[in-house]
Chains A and B, each alone.
Chain A
Amino acid sequence: MLAFLVQRISQAFLVMFVISVIAFAIQDGLGDPLQEMVGMSVSAEEREAIREELGLNDPMVLQYLRFAGKAIQGDLGNSYFYSKPTLEVIAEHLPATLELVIGASLIIIFLSVPIGVYAAIRPQAWLSKFFMGVSTVGISIPVFLTAIVLIQLFSIGVTVTWFPVDTGWGQWLNEALSTEGGLPSYGRGDDLVHLFGTWESGFFSSDGWMHLVLPSVSLASIMLPLFIRLIRAEMMEVLQSDYIRYARAKGLSAGRINFLHALKNTMLPVITVGGVQIGIMVAYTILTETVFQWPGVGLMFLEAITRSDIPLIVAYLMVVGLIFVVTNTLVDLLYGLVNPTVKLTGKKA
């Protein structure tokens, strides 16, 4: 266990080192940070003076060494735009993203497990076919499109007038297809509760939850189909295995077989994929957060790129790298809990 953790921590350092080098190497391609700092009519001389002050004229190696020296002490530099330490800026934006990921994860867990299991147990039922069909469509729609459609339907509202109003059924269809709107379409709302540190939470007010609905549904929409299909496929495979047949022969109840013996073994690969997907979800929050003006790290990162806020970009990439390493480590630990036969240090590949 200890050896495993040591191995992972050294891995984390390596990952972050590589990321920081790459981020530094590409910064020239990201544009000129000064453009956002000064007005158009500021003279070339003054621009040069500011550049000199910021150390942007030094050779790249020198800049990197200066950065690395501070980074070892936990200082990843100051954001140009926020004029604050980058880690502080990220810490301020991270809770919003985490709450969004939690919201989406809840939707995924509570929908994908029952639907996946149902579709595996009754593959021929029309409801299963419906779910599988919808999930194929869902997986192929880009998340920003889902988001825009959701906003149109549930925030702005749609009035349908396709059917003749003077007939009873036409009127009924019109009304049935029209939506009221009213759900908040941007931001986290005003009703945030301060938990600790930089964590302002929207989980403690109805307004906060309302603001969370549309963003988490759109974020979940991209992952949900994947998990439904994965759980279904794994479950179907497990249901074919000998020990399930044996359990059936022994006369165990269907519920016990399906949910205790089969599901447990189904979840193993699902957890692995899930761990990786949480990392990917952080990447997808960039799109979701942009469409919903959700003040999390994704939006912050996108804006940092348009502003060429290089220190913030580098710090964000390193933090995300860290998140990946940490979630993968947690997944490996969870593995051991779900299936005691898996040896942590043994699986070096």
Chain B
Amino acid sequence: MKKLLAAFIGSMALAAAPVAVSAEATKELKVAYDSDPVTLDIHEQLSGGILQLSHMTFDPLIRWTKDLGFEPRLAESWERVDENTMRFTLRKGVKFHSGNEFTAEDVKFTFDRLKESQDFEAIFKPFSGINVIDDYTFELVTSEPYPLLLNTATYIFPLDSEFYSGKTEDGKDKGAILKHGNSFASENLSGTGPYTVSERRQGVRVEFERFDDYWDTESPGNVGKIVLTPIKEDNTRVSALLSGGVDFIAPVPPNDLDRIKRDKNANLVTMSGTRIIIFHMNQERVEAFKNPKVRQAIAYAINQEGIAEKIMKGFATPASQLSPAGYQGHNENLKPRFDVAKAQQLMKEAGYEDGFTITMMSPNNRYVNDDKIAQAAAAMLARINIKVDLKTLPKAQYWPEYDNRAADMMLIGWHADTEDSANFYEFLTFCPDADTGSGQYNAGNYCNPEIDALVQKANVETDLDKRSAMLQEVEQRLYDDAAFVPLHWQDLAWASKKNVNIEPVLNVMNFPYLGDLVVE
């Protein structure tokens, strides 16, 4: 009877308002990632896992498309008012999980909170403020012309300001961001996204349920419930998919790619990624590294293609620069330059024909096959008479060593949070400066103020063609100078059962838009 009544009321509602017919979201999806979200507060940590959660439970103002363009989400349209200001118009009739109406005030609340977040404030530093014009219009203002304004807008996932304001029963501020200890926001969530969190046991499982009043009725997504289980062990994660225990896994370890490809019930998607893996050569620790010829010799001695093919099993794109294809700084002319004879000759010219001994460090559980890459690189350097003492460490111990610059060559992987070339330079090749924080991960102590100035200039250039030319010049100069040794961009891989159509919702940023996922 109740059902009948509900159906009746439902049909009345249908008759009353012309509602777009959305796909019936009834499918259940079991997902296994290598970890579950650390917290439900999307401003507590800037990490892949949290961004994946953000895209499931919140919506950004705009989001990246597959080809690195932008598509409107909560912001319907945007226009430049002057060179420091961008005006956004918001979608109307969007509801938060709590039932509250979404307005520009929520965007302001979110923006202010982002500026306070330790992890996000660096990204939002160029912004000087936000002007709310009316309920559905606001302006983002930067202190200088900022070409990456839209890139940054993809990080604004509006929070429900009413939900996160006020005090909890024990008198704590609901909006507080706490790095450790429990906050209201780390356990409760209200966004505009396709899913709500219905149950969560940290480290064991998270359950998501489709939000009934989700604004995007045109989304083809038909998944009504998602159960996310963290499975850290690569082998177990793959087994869970092959045995039918889960429908979708990520990441797929390179060693199991063939196994999944061969399985007739599984579906594998791979993509060239944007995370660059490089070695820094510390000029402060090793006198020889100050000589560009020695650095070039090392760059010539390392066989990127060999590493990508043999060690990464083809699961990497050999790199000669920091910016991956599709980024503004990507310079087509730069090619990997493996040539042992040339390397030996350069060593000779530099007066180091007999070579020298250096130390090298690498993590062994942070990047795909990181320790094996370091071993291979050490073997390659032996051919130009550089003897390497290699030490590999688990990541928890590696980063403190990295901060101390504890070895002559250190391996690091970097993904640009802004999806833009300049981020690479700012962290990896800028002259290290403890006060401004620039060059924070520049373990080579490479310093070329001219290049830094060029990047700074590009950072206020809003003409994207001009900017692109500048950044490509930066790549060229870093390449000529052999400021570091680029290795490869790590590929990405996901796998699912055949009936789960993952390909359309995946992207190179590795946040699957699961709200739009179609399960047959």
Q: Mark A266-305, 1 if CB is under 8 A from B, else 0.
A: 0000000000000000000000001111010001100101
Q: A42-B118, A292-B236, A306-B365 are in contact. Are A37 and B179 (CB under 8 A)?
A: yes
Question: A83, B243: Cβ atoms under 8 Å?
Answer: no
Q: Could you tell me if B440 and A44 are in contact, using CB atoms closer than 8 angstroms?
A: yes
Q: Say whether A308 faces chain B, with CB atoms less than 8 Å apart.
A: yes
**In the complex, chain B residues whose CB is within 8 Å of the CB of A169:** none
**Which of the segments A13-21, A182-190, A229-237 contacts the partner chain?**
A182-190
Knowing A31-B399, A80-B180, say if A41 contacts B417 (CB, 8 Å): yes
Segment from B227-235, B289-297, B461-469 that makes contact with A: B227-235
Q: Which of A42, A156, A190 contacts B242 (CB 8 A)?
A: A156
Give the nearest-CB partner of A289 in chain B: B233
Q: Please, which residue of chain A has its CB at the minimum distance from the CB of B259?
A: A156
Assess whether B396 is in contact with A186, with CB atoms less than 8 Å apart: no
Task: Report B-chain residues with C-beta under 8 Å of the C-beta of A46.
Answer: 118
Contact flag A303-B232 (CB < 8 Å), given A30-B396, A41-B427, A151-B243: yes
Instruction: Tell me, yes or no, whether A128 is within 8 Å of chain B by CB.
Output: no
**Counting chain A CB atoms within 10 Å of each CB, which of B178, B179, B365 scores highest?**
B179
Contact between chains at B180 and A37 (CB < 8 Å): yes
- Kindly state whether residue A81 has any CB partner on chain B within 8 Å: yes
Query: A78-90 vs B: 1/0 string, CB under 8 Å?
Result: 1011111000000
Smallest CB-CB separation from B123: which chain A residue? A41
A70, B388: Cα distance in complex, Å: 47
- Contact between B365 and A43, CB atoms less than 8 A apart: no
The answer to the question of A307 belonging to the interface, with a C-beta cut-off of 8 Å to chain B, is yes
CA distance A148 to B118 in the complex (A): 42
Whether B182 contacts A151 by the Cβ 8 Å rule is: no
Q: Decide yes or no: A155 and B400 within 8 Å by CB, A39-B45, A83-B180, A291-B233 being known contacts.
A: no
B396, A182: Cβ atoms closer than 8 Å: no
B232 and A41 contact, CB distance less than 8 A: no
* Chain A: number of interface residues, binned into ranges: 35 or more
A-facing residues in B400-414 (Cβ within 8 Å): 400, 403, 414
Shortest Cβ distance from B240 into chain A, in angstroms?
A: 5
Interface residue A32 (Cβ < 8 Å from any Cβ of B): yes
CB-CB under 8 A from B118, the residues of chain A are: 38, 42, 46, 50
CA distance A255 to B122 in the complex (A): 79
Does A54 sit within 8 A of B, measured CB to CB? yes
Shortest B324–chain A CB gap in Å is 17
Return the chain A residue nearest B403 by Cβ: A44
Number of interface residues of B (CB under 8 A): 51
Query: Which one of A29, A292, A300 lies within 8 Å of B203 (CB-CB)?
Result: A300
Contact B245 A35 (CB under 8 A): no
Q: Give the interface centre of A84, A157, A290, A293 by most chain B CB atoms within 10 Å.
A: A293
In whole Å, how far is A126's beta carbon from the nearest beta carbon of chain B?
Answer: 36
Minimum CB distance partner of B186 in chain A: A83
Q: A31-B396, A36-B396 are in contact. Are A186 and B240 (CB under 8 A)?
A: yes
Q: Is the CB of A308 within 8 A of B440?
A: no
B13 on interface, CB distance cutoff 8 Å:
no
B437 at the A interface (CB under 8 A): yes
The answer to whether the Cβ of A123 comes within 8 Å of any Cβ in the partner chain is: no
Judge whether B122 and A43 touch: CB under 8 Å.
Answer: yes
Closest chain-B Cβ to A193's Cβ sits at a distance in Å of 15
Is A72 on the interface with B (CB-CB < 8 A)?
no
Instruction: State whether A81 and B38 are in contact (beta carbons under 8 Å apart), knowing that A30-B397, A50-B179, A54-B180 are contacts in the complex.
Output: yes
- Asked if B516 is at the interface (CB within 8 A of a chain A CB), the reply is no
Least CB distance, B308 to chain A, in whole angstroms: 23
Nearest CB in chain A to that of B398: its residue = A31
Closest chain-A Cβ to B202's Cβ sits at a distance in Å of 6
Distance (Å) between the CB of A332 and the closest chain B CB? 36
* A183 CB contacts on chain B under 8 angstroms: 243
A291–B236 touching, CB < 8 Å:
yes
Given A78-B181, A186-B231, A35:B236 Cβ within 8 A = no
Bound Cα distance A82, B182 (Å): 9
Complex Cα gap A42–B399 (Å): 13
Contact across chains for A42 and B119 when beta carbons are under 8 A apart: yes
Over the window 104-122 of chain B, the binary record of Cβ atoms lying under 8 Å from chain A Cβ atoms (1 yes, 0 no) is 0000000000000011001
Nearest Cβ on chain A to B81's Cβ, whole angstroms: 29
Do the beta carbons of A293 and B180 come within 8 Å of each other? no
* Chain A nearest CB, measured from B84 CB (Å): 24
Which residues of the partner chain A approach B244 to less than 8 Å between Cβ atoms? 182
How many Å lie between the Cα of A307 and that of B202 in the bound state?
Answer: 14
Contacts A31-B399, A156-B239, A306-B365; is A186 near B179 (CB within 8 Å)? no
A138 at the interface (CB under 8 A from B): no
- Asked if B425 lies at the interface with its beta carbon under 8 angstroms from chain A, I say no
Known: A35-B399, A38-B179, A81-B38. A43 touches B233 (CB 8 A): no
Chain A residues whose CB sits within 8 angstroms of the CB of B201 once the complex forms? 92, 295
Q: Measured between alpha carbons, how far is A33 from B397 in the docked complex, in Å? A: 9
B47 at the binding interface (Cβ < 8 Å): yes
Inter-chain contacts of B205 with A (CB < 8 A): 187
Q: What is the minimal beta-carbon distance from B517 to any residue of chain A, in angstroms? A: 21
In the bound complex, CA of A148 to CA of B242 (Å): 13
Residue of A nearest to B418 (CB): A41
B504 contacts the other chain (Cβ, under 8 Å)? no
Mask of A98-117 contacts with B, CB within 8 angstroms, 1/0: 00000000000000000000
A155 adjacent to B202 (CB under 8 Å): no
Does B394 interact with chain A (Cβ within 8 Å)? yes
Contact residue among A80, A92, A151 (Cβ-Cβ distance under 8 Å from B239): A151
Mark contacts of B420-436 with chain A using CB atoms, 8 A cut-off: 1 yes-contact digit, 0 otherwise. Answer: 00000001000000100
B174 close to A (CB within 8 Å): no
Q: Does B211 contact A (CB under 8 A)?
A: no
B245 and A155: CB pair below 8 A? yes
B182 and A83 contact, CB distance less than 8 A: yes
Q: Is B395 an interface residue (CB 8 A)?
A: yes
Whether B396 and A32, one on each chain, are in contact in the complex, defined by CB atoms closer than 8 angstroms, is yes
Question: Nearest chain B CB to A39's CB is how many angstroms away?
Answer: 4
Q: Which of B205-244 contact A (CB under 8 A)?
A: 205, 227, 229-233, 235-236, 239-240, 242-244
Cα–Cα, bound, A152→B232 (Å) = 18
Once the chains bind, are A185 and B243 in contact (CB under 8 Å)?
A: yes
Could you give, for residues 359-398 of chain B, a 1 whenever the CB lies within 8 Å of some chain A CB and a 0 otherwise?
0000001000000000000000000000000000011111
User: Which residues from chain A contact B400 at a C-beta distance below 8 Å?
Assistant: 31-32, 35
Residues 123-137 of B at the A interface (beta carbon under 8 Å): 123
User: Which A residues touch B440, using CB under 8 A?
Assistant: 41, 43-44
User: Are the C-beta atoms of B45 and A37 separated by less than 8 Å?
Assistant: yes
8 new A-B pairs (CB below 8 Å) besides A33-B396, A295-B204? A32-B399, A35-B400, A38-B179, A78-B180, A185-B236, A187-B245, A290-B236, A293-B230
Which A residues form the contact surface with B (CB < 8 A)? 29-33, 35-46, 50, 53-54, 78, 80-84, 92, 148, 151-152, 155-157, 181-187, 190, 290-293, 295, 299-300, 303, 305-308
